[in-house]
Structure 1
Amino acid sequence: MSTGSTYSDDDESPNFDENIKRLKELQYEKKRLLNDLSEQAGMRLTNNNPGIANLGDDNRPSKISERFSELYDNHWTDAMEALDGHKFQEREGIEMLLEVLNAIYEDCKLQREKRLKSFASLVLGVKLEENHDSGENMDIYQNVEMGQNGGTKTTKKDDDIRLQCSRYLSAKDINYTQDKHVKETMYSLLNKKFVDKKRQEVLNHKSLKLYIDQCFEVCWSICLQIPPVVMVTDVKRVDLFRSYTKSGDVIDHVVWPALLLHEDGPVLYKGVAQMTSDATSAPTYENM
């Protein structure tokens, strides 16, 4: 005869197993949410502050600086040798290669701006339909470019728009420089710039073509950054350059540009310039 309730493992087992299963699900969900939160926080931090590098990004500014240095050390040197073989004086060759780089850089900036505006307009069109608030959305558009470094405090919405633009440009245009039509257009641009026969002929030299292609690759990577990395040839900024073959406290002419992390930002790469002690020397290039 039983004097009380009888405990049975079978009675509790289903509930116990269910609770264990639910606990594991909740633990997994908690871990996933924490990972997502950490990732979002990291993305907002790095995208809102270009001084913080995303070490998983091969296109991060420090890597671009390395490629820019290699472009000068290797392809620029080979191109200069090719120009020397075509009877170019050293100063003449330096000026041509810098003009090639500048022309490609300016065109990349133009194409990037077109793409950024196109995408921002697409996003803003959706926002306008939802909010019917053009003032709010114009503020967002301005902050796509400005970010923290433009002197405006950004909101989460601003950051998200900037992040979307960055992702869009990176994903859509990752192979932009490999497009045959784009390359043909770029070479056509250079042929129009260098109209004299001597320069047009040397553009077809193998070393010059490699130099041009690498300039295109690096300049496009520079312009894909948000905010963009900035190329500088300001002859007044002696502090941004190291000497070429002559020392001095005044820049006679720029040989290779400097890179800044962003407009008025820290130096990523010191440029190269021919120096002089003659303060009356007239520099060739002004600020880009």
Structure 2
Amino acid sequence: MITTMAGKQHFSKTTHTPLPKIDSELEQYAGENVQALLKKHAGSGPSETLQNAYQEYIDLLRSYKELSEKHKKEAASLLNTQIRGTITLSDKTIADYKTRTNSSIVKLMKNDKEDSKAIQELHTLISAHLKLKQVKGESKAKEDRPNFSRVRSREDGLRGASNPPKSDTAMETDDKSEKKKELPLPQSLTTSVLQGRPMAHLPMIEYQQLVRRLESQQRDIEEMTTRLSRFASNQVTQGNPNIADLSDKNRPTKIGEKFGELYDNEWSEAYEAFKEKMEIVNDEDEPKVIEQLLRVVHSAQMFCADVSNDQLNQLKKNLKQPILEVSFTSSGGKQRETKSVPEDKGLETSAEKYAKNFRKECALRCIPAVIQLYKSTQGQHFSWARSPHADAIHKYVDRCIELIWLMSVQDPPMYLVSAEKGDKVRTDLFTYYGSKGKVVESTVWPAVLLHSNGPIISKGYIIPMAK
């Protein structure tokens, strides 16, 4: 009895109707996305929906094949429309397509992002099927389905009405006029870009390869355009601070913006930390806190200028040395001969040019080392450097070093300006911190110039003397 039941259970699992097979003659018209969707669901076992989906897919491929082989003009026109460019479908458009398209294949789709390409491929097959019906005269009216073209698109992704109703006069004119002759298909649309054969015979898989190749070529073009733009910018902006290299993410204007953000964010947090550390309660002692914060900026400015100059000299020396001392090592590696050449001004100029470019390109890599070097050599002059609990202060110091270092490696270096006590207030460089006045009491935050005596990049803040 147990054996019989087991046999029945085994028999019930193997009596499913086999899934329809795609004929070899249709394989060349089958795309990879819909096939991948069907195969994924076939792994979990046959079902009625899957059976219908396979049958629907085969019917659509047959329509596509018939349209391509017997109605070349219509097929070429349809393919030319598809090849203009693949557009990204929005989630709303995909959901709308699933709702309004009565398709067994669509019922298998679960994930919108994964099924986007399958929907585009299915849309092409359905369009070919409807085009074939129109050609045969079986369907004159356009099916109500989502359209993915860029022309007259609405926010919901559906195509709006492109042909308004004709007036009575226009209809009478059409009835009286002779039927217009069909224009011949242009030669540019009758051949494949890939192999020069009739475009109507271009299979779906070859179309997808063509799209991928076009996308790859487009990426290559964009990359080469960026590289050419960077090269041209280097030629024009070399030593000219008034022309910005827009491909540089750390160009002076961007650094100036970040320096202003430093004052708005890290400066305010460090200000509160200093007040707590210095046990300041009265507002009258506020300038003492501001003085400590500004002192960090001034020391960082001098430190970064010294380090960047020393780094530039080392780079120039290492660039010139192999040129000035040409050497050769024998095959045995035991004897090395060196011949020296005289140095000239042209070599010095070239070495400085390439050294500055290399220093600037690699400036971000140096930032962690510059910060550690600053704290180990300059921190002894600051009480906050010995306080492990002042995280906000250390964060402020690190950010100061980072941005001032990037200012120092520019060509020419950017410049920080602070007003001295008793100076006349320059409203073109500074903004008032608190009340207004005509004479400077102290500087709260320095102004940033493109270079020494150059144009203003970011304004600073000053405290004026009381009237």
What TM-score bracket applies, with the shorter chain setting the length? 0.5 to 0.7
Task: Return the letter of the residue paired with 1:45.
Answer: V
The separation in 2 between residues aligned to 1:38 and 1:211, in whole angstroms, is 36
Match of residue 115, structure 1, among 311, 314, 326: 311
1:126-175 CA distances to partner (integer Å, 9 max, x unpaired)?
Answer: 554589554525862xxxxxxxxxxxxxxxx5xx842x123311333322
Match of residue 136, structure 1, among 332, 345, 354: 345
1:13-41 CA distances to partner (integer Å, 9 max, x unpaired)?
Answer: xxxxxxxxxxxxxxxxxxxx999887544
1:246 aligns with 2:432: no
1:1-60 CA distances to partner (integer Å, 9 max, x unpaired)?
Answer: xxxxxxxxxxxxxxxxxxxxxxxxxxxxxxxx9998875443121123111111111110
The separation in 1 between residues aligned to 2:347 and 2:441, in whole angstroms, is 44
1:245-284 CA distances to partner (integer Å, 9 max, x unpaired)?
Answer: 1211111111111111011111111111101266xxxxxx
Shift in Å, 1:105: 1.7
Change (3 A) 1:39 1:222: closer
Q: Is the 2:375–2:385 contact (alpha carbons within 8 Å) kept by the matching residues of 1?
A: no
List runs of 5+ in structure 1 lacking aligned partners: 1-32, 141-156, 279-288
Task: Return the letter of the residue paired with 2:286.
Answer: E
Structure with larger RCO (C-alpha < 8 A, sep 6+): 1
The residue number in structure 2 matching 1:69 is 260
The residue number in structure 1 matching 2:365 is 175
Change (3 A) 1:173 1:250: same
Residues 32-47 of structure 1: pairs in structure 2 closer than 5 A: 40-47=231-238
1:260 aligns with 2:445: no
Larger Rg: 2
Q: Report the RMSD for the aligned CA atoms in angstroms.
A: 3.0
Change (3 A) 1:67 1:129: same
SS in structure 1 at match of 2:312: helix
Task: Report sequence identity in percent.
Answer: 29
Shift in Å, 1:202: 5.2
The residue number in structure 2 matching 1:21 is none
Task: Return the letter of the residue paired with 1:68.
Answer: F
Q: Is the 2:230–2:247 contact (alpha carbons within 8 Å) kept by the matching residues of 1?
A: no
The separation in 2 between residues aligned to 1:39 and 1:71, in whole angstroms, is 29
Task: Return the letter of the residue paired with 1:101.
Answer: V
1:207 aligns with 2:403: no
How many corresponding residue pairs? 223
Change (3 A) 1:183 1:42: closer
Change (3 A) 1:177 1:90: same
Task: Return the letter of the residue paired with 1:64.
Answer: I
1:83-109 CA distances to partner (integer Å, 9 max, x unpaired)?
Answer: 222214311110111111111221111
Match of residue 292, structure 2, among 81, 96, 111: 96
List runs of 5+ in structure 2 lacking aligned partners: 1-223, 327-339
Task: Return the letter of the residue paired with 2:400.
Answer: C
The residue number in structure 2 matching 1:232 is 417
User: Which structure: greater helix fraction?
Assistant: 1
The separation in 1 between residues aligned to 2:388 and 2:289, in whole angstroms, is 12
Change (3 A) 1:73 1:128: same
The residue number in structure 1 matching 2:111 is none
Residues 50-61 of structure 1: pairs in structure 2 closer than 5 A: 50-61=241-252
The separation in 2 between residues aligned to 1:97 and 1:42, in whole angstroms, is 37
